[in-house]
């Protein structure tokens, strides 16, 4: 394995913004992928944290349907999230996500294709009540708080004093679900129109 542990900047560990360590991990993962690393060469814990954050951002922006639509139900992305949620201590979210996957996987190929080809906007939201449950659950199991604690307390985390490539300002990132909001996006989730992937996440793995 090329990098078998989580690498973040020392500055992000010291930062009072809880999101800073998550953003730092994202920067490192993106850098390694851009340099030609294969996902299997990276720490599964680093990738798990990375895709849990993507899931949170998409769901808080437009609900679970938007998340599934924008990641095209990619099984590798779903696998990383399934793997990471229990590690974060997010047992309620892990149970909810298993329901999300079951609801997606029970669809046949034609039904999945219809959803990805635009059914998101032309039919009832198949994940609406699960999105509502996510919003309620996230008040008790805040995935940003849990994700940040997971990184900070990871037994093999490396805090690089030289910083990490492409680092940004955490919660001030315009695509962060809590940008400008001390509640970090808590509240009602509304089904949104299709949005681009957050520019610092890769949804489709090689």
Q: Is the pLDDT of residue 157 over 50?
A: yes
Tell me how far the alpha carbon of residue 71 is from its chain's centroid.
11
pLDDT of 72: 94
Per-residue pLDDT tens digits for 68-111: 999 999 999 999 999 999 999 999 999 999 999 999 999 999 99
Nearest of 161, 180, 183, 160 to residue 171 by alpha carbon: 180
Average pLDDT in the chain? 84
Residue 119 scores a pLDDT above 70: no
Reported for 185-189, long-range contacts at CB under 8 A and 24+ positions apart, including other chains, are 185/60, 186/135, 186/138, 186/139, 187/135, 188/135, 189/59, 189/60, 189/62, 189/63, 189/131, 189/132, 189/134, 189/135
């Amino acid at each position: 394995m090329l990098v078998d542990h989580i690498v973040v900047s020392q500055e992000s560990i010291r930062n009072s913004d809880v999101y800073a360590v998550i953003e730092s991990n994202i920067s490192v993962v993106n850098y390694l992928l851009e340099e030609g690393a294969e996902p299997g060469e990276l720490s599964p814990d680093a990738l798990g944290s990375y895709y849990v954050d993507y899931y949170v951002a998409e769901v808080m922006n437009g609900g679970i349907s938007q998340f599934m639509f924008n990641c095209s139900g990619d099984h590798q992305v779903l696998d990383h999230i399934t793997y990471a949620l229990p590690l974060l201590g997010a047992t309620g979210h892990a149970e909810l996500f298993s329901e999300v996957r079951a609801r997606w996987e029970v669809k046949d190929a034609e039904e999945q294709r219809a959803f990805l080809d635009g059914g998101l906007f032309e039919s009832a939201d198949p994940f609406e009540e699960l999105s509502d449950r996510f919003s309620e659950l996230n008040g008790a199991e805040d995935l940003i708080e849990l994700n940040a604690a997971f990184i900070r307390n990871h037994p093999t985390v490396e805090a690089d004093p030289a910083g990490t490539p492409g680092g940004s300002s955490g919660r001030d990132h315009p695509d962060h679900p809590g940008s400008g909001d001390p509640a970090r996006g808590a509240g009602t989730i509304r089904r949104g129109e299709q949005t681009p992937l957050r520019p610092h996440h890769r949804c489709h793995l090689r």
